[in-house]
Structure 1
Amino acid sequence: MRTMFKMAALPAALALSIASSAAIAEPGTLKLPDNIDMKLGGRLHVLASHSDDSSLAEKDETEYQVRRARIRFSSTVDDWITFFLQTDMVGQQDKSGSGVALIDAFVQFKPKQEAQVVIGQHMSPALRQNVTSSGALLAIDRPSLTYKSLTWGTRALAGFSRKTQPETDAGLRGDVDVRDTGATFFGAADYSEKMHFSYYAGTYEGAQSASGDKRYTLRGQVNFGDAENGYFNAANYLGKKDTIGLGVSYDQQGSVAKDVTSGHEVDYALSSVDLFVAKAKVTFEAALINLDLGGADQLTFQDGSLLGANKARGKEAEGTGYYLQAAYQLGEKWQPWAGYEQWSSNGDNDAGSFSSARLGVSYLLNDYSSFKVGVETWNNEVVPAGEENEFLTATAGYFITF
């Protein structure tokens, strides 16, 4: 489960981390060993949104949101061992503001670029977007259907990720939402100055409802032009990279739940093919994604209790879809962007199918902060009870990573 602690304890925790790897030279002076390099950073995404979605309560039609509020700490030891911690703000706590969760806690061993391993609580490479930094998104948030991957919820998020859309959610969740706990073998090789390859192979805990099998994930990527040699990539390089990337991913876990109708075990499998292009002022990304839950009905835990607040059927959550997103940089400050995605579910009469379009513009203050404003239209192929067939969301926000 997520490690919870109060915001007030965070400075003390960081201080203890620093003190444990440092030597005191004299009273009041902290001296670090020469081979230890430490970095402290943060990320803040604050949004204001308005939607005409009738399923929202009146007070929620207009919402002010802290989408991400993170503190990031890393330390490198002996040039090939790095540990990383990252927190994020979570729900309000009684009389003490918001709580803080430790969402990343891993160590990365990198004896050489071609052979690395990441161990701990971190992001599995189920899709390109899973290993795309939230500090380098193209639009206001990720494409909706990228949340179909395991531990991201096997669902779709509407309104620039404001809400889980009914009938798109299989209800699968991990012990740690979004991240997973396990080990990923990773490497990047330069075949030539203009051709590069990277691979990921990992095993993780996976769904909290699984009966025993571990989760396994594979990803391979080829880049022509500049390399993307890090574990994490970007969806927006702001004209600083010239590359074409082709990737494939496969993510699976057996016996993630039971089918309420048949009583049989349900297996999860997610496969994708993706394309990323960064050329001068143009950025383009596309992916084709398939989620397979074996045509299951409603999913349950091993004790028979239903998964997910929306109690969607597996066959309504599973299916095939794609997304496209692109941007063009005008001068040094303006970057208009657009996106489109469509999901075709395996549900009866297309229940769970949707399409969505986004249009917006970013004002780039500098390399690490920007203002963004955008609109998203959402269309349900089949109208769920209490939902609109189509609704629009307008969002504006400020984004900073340092």
Structure 2
Amino acid sequence: MATVTLENIARSFNQVKVISDITFQVPDGEFWVLVGPSGCGKSTILRSIAGLDEITEGNLYFDRTLMNTIPARERDVAMVFQNYALYPHLTVAQNLSFGLKMRGINKSVITEKVEFVSQILDINHLLHRKPKDLSGGQQQRVALGRAIIRQPKVFLLDEPLSNLDAQLRDQTRTELKKLHNKVGITTIYVTHDQVEAMTLGDRIVVLDQGKIQQIGTPAQIYDNPVNRMVATFLGTPAMNIIPVTYHDGALWINQQQSLPLTPYWKEKIPPHNGQGWDLGIRPEYINVSIESDSSDNGIIAQIEVIEPLGKEILVGATIVDSEININLQLPMKWKGERFDRFKIEFSLDHSYIFEPISGNRI
């Protein structure tokens, strides 16, 4: 196991810089997740750590050893890809032991390691099967086992659950967390799924357009996003972003409904009439009238989409006389139908305000 340190890492392809100034340190034995939209550079970072992509700028260390010029085969890194890439003509046991045989490990040691890993992953009853006889979840566990059996310094996972169905993903995600607790290998996991990031990571690195946006624990990033991108990317359903305008101590929505500022926000927001801001509020902090109300008092929204999820209902609505769309998270007992109108209330105590252009949080 090793502490992985990235210092100002950059990677360019044909003079186009796809990642830049990537700096963070994964302590020995921790589980870190790189998350962000497609094309943000997270897989490039992972491949740079593995040695599959050359680092254009910056330094990579395992503990205190500079790894920039060390070939991939000598980095003692195990990587699991989205495609499990199992050898189809070999049994599960042979797939697990292949890497050890290539290294000339003693046969008795290999047998012992195969038994240990197969028990951890609950695939010991599958050792004589071939990949074509396995389910997707079983193949995924074999791929994990083939990486773990080497006992590498660093374990790299590039969206390994994306080929699984929803139920199996949930189950495998739990198993993966338990597995890490058992083996304690320094792990860096890449995903675009914010649920995986929030549930798996000791810490999360949020990326966008090749740059780090924020690093922190799941709770820190969810409760204190540094900018609009982070705020809207993490959380299901996504945080609502509502354009507002400051005027005489209040924020105005659509120049019709006002939200009086609390003393806290009066100190934070420059008192410039006509200044525009983006108000961010998560769906769970929007209060909704129990009964429909189409009066002109307060902020009125109209239901456009209803998504029952069993324990709760997700509602997509539009603020009346505007083009502002909002998402709400409501209990199942709440009753409403498409095109119904109701009052909504925003709590500024649970709101965020972002600069419209930069997206930075005030």
Structure number having the greater helix percentage:
2
Structure number having the greater strand percentage:
1
Normalised to the residue count of structure 2, the TM-score between the two structures is: 0.29
